[in-house]
Amino acid sequence: MKLDDLPRLSLGFLPTPIDDLPTLGAELGISLSVKRDDFTGFGGGGNKVRKLEFLMADAVEKGVQVVITTGGHQSNHARMTAAAARKFGMEPILVLRGNRPDAWQGNLLLDHLLGAKIDFLDPDAYFEQVNPLMQQRADEAEAEGKKAYVIPLGGASALGAMGYVNAIKELAEQYTAMGRKAPDYIVAPLGSGGTLAGITVGCSIWWPETKVMGISVTGTAVPFDQRISAMANDAAELLELDRRFDASDLLIQDDYVGPGYSIPSDAGNAAIKRAARSEGVLLDPVYTGKAMAGIIGSVENGTIAKGSDVLFVHCGGTPALFPFSGQLTTDLES
């Protein structure tokens, strides 16, 4: 099936702009630009809006009344899924990794304002309990006569990945309109993997010479290159493409996770301040700050060659800045 033939509901304020970052780029010795998917707008913005345009179209077509998904305490995906559910008259249920908070800040505050029903799972038990609990909530909804729809972590599925296949099409059109050649690298944070899978498939169609780099912000039981190549293959099959992918097609940097998922890292916090003070661009401690640290580190260690043209995908996450104010203001103590 062709991309344009897949059911899709308009949610994002698209196309999002491309900003050049000349000061930071010059400091690093590269040409650096950013795709501002923090400006997708709907539900507070972020990359997941693109995935939800396809996932919610599927849910609406199936007559869904309850949408269930999962993520971390400060999950942008959970927040935007809750907003999308409300947009289409559905009830959102969120199963979040983390204990019930003492203070509702950042994305948790927005989840509450959106009226999402929230289950909190102890982080140590999360991976064992999350899928059974989501299925339990779906079964409970069905028992009440309500059709339920479970969206996986991060919207990471072949259908969700279509959001970033479409984003590469959008980018290719923007670059052509500006008279610019395709970038040497496109870099994005890597969490659940759906964004990178979509970028990988999209680049194989429109930007085949561009290298796709993912900066891991979390660990995974299944190696990312295997997980994403499998998802990319499912997406390619959905689009009836001849191309198939394997682990060797993926360029993944695992050195910038820091202490763990949703735990700020020193390098990520430094990158947040550097981007803010050199370009006025706001990043977050969970995703984009670590990804920018990955770009900086990859240039410094030669993985990205000096003089390269690099496009960074800003996946949003500004609400997640505020719960981490303590870690981001330690320099005030001196």
The rounded distance, in Å, linking the Cα atoms of 306 and 303 is 9
Residue-by-residue DSSP string for 222-264: S-HHHHHHHHHHHHHHHTT-S----GGG-EEE-TT-TTBTTB-
Task: Give the model confidence (pLDDT) of 141-163 as tens digits.
Answer: 999 999 999 999 999 999 999 99
**How many residues does this entry show for the chain?**
334
- By annotation, the residues acting in catalysis are 75
64-107 pLDDT, tens digit per residue, is 999 999 999 999 999 999 999 999 999 999 999 999 999 899 99
Do the two domains 3-47+157-333 and 48-155 of this chain adopt the same fold? Answer: yes
Distance CA 100, CA 209 (A): 46
User: Which tokens belong to 96?
Assistant: 């979040």
pLDDT at 333: 65
Per DSSP, helices labelled H in the chain are 22-28, 48-61, 76-87, 106-113, 126-143, 158-178, 194-206, 224-238, 266-279, 288-300, 325-328
Hey, is 309 helix, strand or coil?
strand
Q: Residue 37 and residue 317: Cα distance in Å, rounded?
A: 10
Question: pLDDT at residue 272 above 90?
Answer: yes
pLDDT at 223 over 90: no
CA distance 168 to 196: 11
Mean pLDDT of 35-64: 98
User: What pLDDT is attached to residue 284?
Assistant: 96
Residue with tokens 């259908």: 159
Q: pTM of the entire structure?
A: 0.96
- Mean pLDDT across 205-219: 96
Domain edges within the chain: 3-47+157-333, 48-155
As a whole number, the mean pLDDT across the chain is 96
pLDDT at position 334 over 90: no
Residue 222, pLDDT score: 73
For 97, the 3-state DSSP assignment is strand
In this structure, CATH architecture of domain 3-47+157-333 = 3-Layer(aba) Sandwich (3.40)
Q: Is the pLDDT of residue 221 over 80?
A: no
- Does the pLDDT at position 219 exceed 90? no
pLDDT band at 196 (very low <50, low <70, confident <90, very high): very high
Of all residues in the chain, the percent with pLDDT exceeding 70 is: 99
For residue 233, the tally of other CB atoms under 10 A from its CB is 19
CATH class of domain segment(s) 48-155: alpha beta
